[in-house]
Amino acid sequence: MNRAVLLDLDGTLLDTPSAIVSTIGTVLADLGHPRPAPAAVRGTVGRPLAEAFRALAGPLDDDEVAEATRRYLLRFRDDVLPRARGLVFPHVEDGLRELRGAGFGLAVATSKFTASARALLDAAGLLGLFDAVVGADEVSRPKPHPEMGVLVLRRMGVVAADAVMVGDTVHDIDMARSAGIASIAVTYGVGDRPTLLDAGPTRVADSFDEVTRDVTRIWEVVS
């Protein structure tokens, strides 16, 4: 395996942000907190759950965060996993197969817990396409810190110059840059084009078809 494509999950492979917004809002309301505005919740997508809950509900102690996380994971499992196949963005599965066929190693680098990410990918029928899945619970410093990117590269046996990160948030682009990895920002997820452009990705893609093409173009540039 000489080159690798690292991919974010929510908002990059699957159209889950709306489900995340709804689930977080319901959990906080059930726990007696005001239901946050959808835009505020959407702004936390791509961050670890503990950070999201603290950002949306104010100061929470560890027990409150643990309970909110537990309820979120249960609701996500019951309400979202059963419809995961229908949430896969257009051309993602074909594009992943094309990249694998071209010899690229594939990995998921996500702010979800690893077990939750694997369960979602499995429910969506995509898990078998990936060589590695790394979640926020496997690092001490999540995105945008480079630790996750470095960990994935080590597991894949690939150096930073031979990897590209694909994601829909500034956190993905910042992590890639800090780890010395090229990046492709996708505009169909959480981040809007102007914000993503300000983050300085190597390329910007409006669809997964473009992602598949842009991966090859990046290698043409860096080769």
- pTM of the predicted protein model: 0.89
The yes-or-no verdict on residue 223 having pLDDT over 70 is no
The yes-or-no verdict on residue 1 having pLDDT over 60 is no
| Residues recognised as catalytic | 8, 10
| Helical ranges in the chain per DSSP H | 17-30, 38-42, 49-57, 62-79, 92-101, 114-124, 147-156, 170-179, 193-198, 208-222
Are 47 and 11 in the same domain? Answer: no
Distance, CA of 93 to CA of 5 (rounded, Å)? 14
Q: What is the rounded average pLDDT of the residues 33-38? A: 91
Q: What is the rounded average pLDDT of the residues 165-181? A: 97
Q: How many domains does the chain have?
A: 2
Radius of gyration, alpha carbons of the chain: 17
The yes-or-no verdict on residue 219 having pLDDT over 80 is no
Are 39 and 107 in the same domain? Answer: no
CATH number at residue 49: 1.10.150.240
Q: For residue 52, how far is the Cα from the chain centroid?
A: 14
Are 150 and 202 in the same domain? Answer: yes
The yes-or-no verdict on residue 179 having pLDDT over 50 is yes
Are 107 and 172 in the same domain? Answer: yes
Q: Which pLDDT score, from 0 to 100, does residue 45 have? A: 86
Are 21 and 120 in the same domain? Answer: no
Choose the weakest-confidence range: 1-15, 37-51, 95-109, 148-162.
37-51
- Domain with 29, as residue range(s), is 17-79
